[in-house]
């Protein structure tokens, strides 16, 4: 899609944003909810044992794997009950290209942040797992699981947003952020959309062979599994 065509699609999307939509509300409320869950979970910890803390890396890796699978399985594939989300994701890829990733208008935020119902869905699943851990007599594991999940969702939302903001001086002082922006920008290439599915940390991309490496060639991109 040409830059002119992307601009036209962008303008059409922005023109359809309801008058009552608040970018600040969309940005702040999910973040505040995740922070509240994180704080409440950490506050519920009591006499945590070393082996329980030792499971934190496993929880973080699990979150990274879920992020990868959700991106590949829910966003890049048609799932009937998530048709609205899939349409928004397709529009996201039409508007933002590898060499043109920045938002132009705050009202584009619905194209970058998760909708409310989609944001609440992973937290509901996380709560079910935490409830099972609590019922098994492991309230500390339940609290640590909730804390890591809330932190992961929060990191996903903000890092994805930072990938779509105009370049800033912040990148010069945070090489990690600059690397993540380049990583995600490659995902927005039409030939590479099956690669770089992680947004927060490309760990599961490396595990599943979807981490893009220079020299893999267009043929490798075409053969990659969705």
pLDDT in tens, 161-214: 999 998 877 777 788 999 999 999 999 999 998 999 999 999 999 999 999 988
- pLDDT tens, 61-85? 999 999 999 888 877 776 666 677 7
Nearest to 152 by CA among 226, 76, 66, 48: 66
- Check: CB of residue 41 under 8 Å from CB of residue 143: yes
Helix locations, the chain, DSSP H? 3-15, 23-43, 50-53, 56-70, 83-95, 116-135, 139-163, 170-173, 175-187, 203-208, 217-223
- Of the pLDDT bands very low, low, confident and very high (cuts 50, 70, 90), residue 224 is very low
Domain residue spans of the chain: 31-214
pLDDT at 225: 44
| Nearest to 164, CA basis, from 177, 151, 147 | 177
Q: Is the pTM of this model over 0.75?
A: yes
CB atoms within 10 A of CB 3: 10
187 in Cβ contact with 171 (< 8 Å) = no
């Amino acid at each position: 899609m040409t830059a002119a065509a992307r601009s036209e699609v962008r303008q059409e999307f922005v023109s359809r944003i309801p008058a009552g939509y608040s970018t600040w509300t969309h940005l702040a409320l999910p973040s505040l909810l995740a922070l509240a869950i994180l704080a409440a979970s950490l506050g519920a910890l009591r006499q945590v044992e070393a082996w329980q803390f030792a499971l934190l890396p496993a929880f973080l890796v699990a979150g990274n794997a879920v992020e990868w699978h959700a991106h590949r399985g829910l966003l890049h594939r048609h799932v009937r009950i998530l048709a609205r989300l899939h349409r928004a994701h397709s529009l996201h890829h039409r508007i933002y290209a590898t060499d043109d990733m920045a938002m132009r208008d705050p009202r584009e935020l619905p194209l970058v942040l998760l909708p409310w119902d989609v944001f609440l869905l992973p937290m509901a699943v996380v709560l079910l797992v935490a409830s099972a851990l609590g019922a098994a007599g492991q309230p500390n594991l339940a609290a640590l699981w909730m804390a890591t999940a809330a932190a992961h969702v929060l990191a996903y939302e903000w890092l994805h947003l930072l990938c779509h903001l105009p370049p800033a001086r912040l990148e010069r002082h945070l090489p990690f952020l600059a690397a993540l922006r380049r990583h995600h920008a490659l995902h927005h290439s039409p030939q590479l959309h099956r690669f770089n599915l992680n947004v927060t940390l490309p760990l599961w991309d490396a595990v599943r062979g979807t981490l893009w490496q220079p020299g893999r060639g267009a043929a490798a991109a075409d053969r990659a599994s969705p």
